[in-house]
Each structure stands twice: as C-alpha cells, then as structure tokens.
Amino acid sequence: MNKPILGIIGGVGPLATAYFMEAIIKKTPAATDQDNIPMIVFNDPQIPDRTAYILDHSRPDPQPEMRKVARWLEDAGADYLAIACNTAHYFYDAISDAVDVPVLNIMEETAKHIALDVGRGGRVGLMATDGTVQSGVFQGYLAERGLVGVVPRAQTQRRIMSLIYDGVKANAPYDPGELCAIAEELRQEGCDAVVVGCTELSVIYQDLAERPTWLYDSLDVLAQRCVDLYLWARERGGDIGM
C-alpha cells in the first residue's frame, strides 16, 4: 500500500478523539471507502490529566504513557502522528523525540493558519485549559508567527474550564451558546481572532449553527493539515517527506 498511515494519540479526551477522526473523514475528498485515509488510533483515556500535572508536578506525569503510545503507533505502522489534545503539546518535544516518524503540531499549525489570515501584530484570544494558558506554550507559537496571544480574565477562564471539565469531559450537557459568548467577549476586548485551543471545546464548536470567520478551531486546522499532507504524500508514492 502506497498510502501513508496516520497514527493518532487519542483518549485525551476520548470524545475529542472521535470528533477528530470524524473531521478528518469529512474533509477527505473521497468517492469510495478506499479513498479515505488509513488511520491507527490508540484511544488511551488512562493517560494522566495533562493540566493537573502542568499545574502541579507532584501529580501523575502523562509523559511516559504518551511516549509509549507514540512508539506503539510507530511500531504498528504509522507513517506520521497527530495528537488529539492541545494541552498535551506541552510535552511535544518529548513525544516527538520518542519516535522516528513526524509528529504534527496542532499549535504550530493553528498559529500558521491564523497568521496567514490576520497578519503580523494580530491579537488572538485563547480559549484553552488552565494548563495550556499558564504554560504559555500556545502563546509562544503565536508569537513565533508575529501574533499576540491574549488570555481570558480569571472569571472567564473559570467558565472555560467548566465547559471543558464539567461539560464535555464529564459526558454532561453543555451550552454551545456559552462558547460563543466567551469568544465574543474576547473579540470585544480587541482580539482580531479567537482560537478554540482545547479539543473538548472543539467538540462544542462542531455544534455551533454559525461559526464566525474570526473563530478558529485548532482541531479543525489539524484535521485539514492531516488531509493535505496525506494527499500530498500519496502523490509521492506514500512518502511523507517531512
């Protein structure tokens, strides 16, 4: 088979992983089953909570398990990897170093995508976990593209965490309108763009009846990158070439 195989480090969280797979399939220009992207998914919900460890290093470290999953996917035949979690990219270098195949970076891809639209100096509101926000990793990728990351006020951040942990992660009802309201608040505070920077929030994003052009979903960007890379590599006989 000359079609490159995508490996997905999933389970972080489980529902976001399922949505990521669905997004990839829907974005693939396929007329038949055989036109779709071969995927190997390790949906491992036993990976310790990323935000908990980032905020308190005495908590269980998710890094060893994620490295193990990455190596398993490579051994199973994956030609390139994607991680269905933004906060996990705090550990990106360690995961990438654990394997010999390319690992796509959701934050880097999203920052690149937004920069093409808003230009240097653009202000980007960040809706993400406490771990992502406080680590500053996403803001760093935005800065590399000449963008300014804007974090929510403390009260707003608590509302974001509630959507993530009390809603999607808890398999409980959530209000998509709350996501829109928070995004609009960041927009009103002078942001040129707002990024959905948590894959649980991406699950809510898919439920929106209308999606403003200034609202960017990081998981949607990563899914499109997976498709584009697959189509490009297929034309080269399956060589990822990254």
Contact (CB, 8 A) for 138 and 115? no
Residue 123 backbone phi and psi in degrees, to 5: -95, 130
Instruction: Give the three-class secondary structure for 41.
Output: strand
Paired with 175 in beta bridges are: none
For residue 235, what pLDDT band results from cuts at 50, 70 and 90? confident
The reply to whether 74 falls in a domain is yes
* Residue bearing tokens 């804007």: 150
Closest CA to 16 of 178, 195, 157, 197: 197
pLDDT (tens digit per residue) in 133-153: 999 999 999 999 999 999 999
* 180 a catalytic residue: no
pTM reported for the whole predicted model = 0.95
Domain residues for 34? 6-105+220-235
- 240 occurs within a structural domain: no
Query: Reduced to 3 states, what is the DSSP secondary structure of residue 59?
Result: coil
- Examine residue 242 and state whether it is found in any structural domain, yes or no: no
pLDDT exceeds cutoff 60 at 234: yes
2-22: b (≥16 Cβ within 10 Å) or e = ebbbbbbbbbbbbbbbebbbe
The domain that holds 96 is classified in CATH as: 3.40.50.1860
Same domain, 118 and 186: yes
Pair (130, 114) in one structural domain: yes
Contact indicator for 20, 33 with CB cutoff of 8 Å: no
- How confident is the prediction for the chain on average, in pLDDT? 95
Quote the tokens at residue 175.
């209000």
Catalytic residue among 180, 191, 198, 226: 198
pLDDT value for 241: 67
226 flagged as catalytic: no
200 and 226 assigned to the same domain: no
Pick the catalytic residue from 85, 180, 191, 226: 85
Same domain, 11 and 95: yes
pLDDT range class, residue 62, cuts 50, 70, 90: very high
- Return the closest-CA partner of residue 52 out of 20, 14, 84, 90: 90
Please check whether residue 128 lies inside any domain of the structure.
Answer: yes
The answer to whether residues 118 and 204 belong to one domain is yes
Shared-domain flag, residues 125 and 207: yes
Q: Are residues 167 and 155 in the same domain?
A: yes
The tens digit of pLDDT for each residue in 168-211 reads 999 999 999 999 999 999 999 999 999 999 999 999 999 999 99
Least-confidence region, from 40-44, 81-85, 137-141, 238-242? 238-242
